[in-house]
Amino acid sequence: MTSKTFEGYLVVNWKTGHMKVTKKKPKRDNQFHIPIKFSINVNMPEYKEIEAKGEITIPETQAEMIIEDAI
């Protein structure tokens, strides 16, 4: 299992209800902004890669047309 920690600040504008996330501590330039420090650990389970296999058959006449168009 892979684990990663995300840290930053949730900045809430208590007057308008808007929110934003930033990595650095914001300056207190707006009296309505409330910075809330957070740390979130995310655990991601290992997963298998899926490999798709297949076969495509192009008729000979169509292949010749593609080659003629390219030349």
Query: Is 2 part of any domain?
Result: yes
Query: Is 5 part of any domain?
Result: yes
The pLDDT of residue 70: 75
Range of the domain at 35: 1-45
| Reported pTM | 0.57
The pLDDT of residue 56: 85
Query: Is 27 part of any domain?
Result: yes
The pLDDT of residue 4: 93
The pLDDT of residue 41: 95
Edge-to-edge strands of the sheet including 19-22?
Answer: 19-22, 2-13, 33-44
Query: Is 31 part of any domain?
Result: yes
Q: Structurally, how many domains does the chain consist of?
A: 1
Query: Is 38 part of any domain?
Result: yes
Rounded to an integer, the average pLDDT of 20-39 is: 92
Query: Is 24 part of any domain?
Result: yes
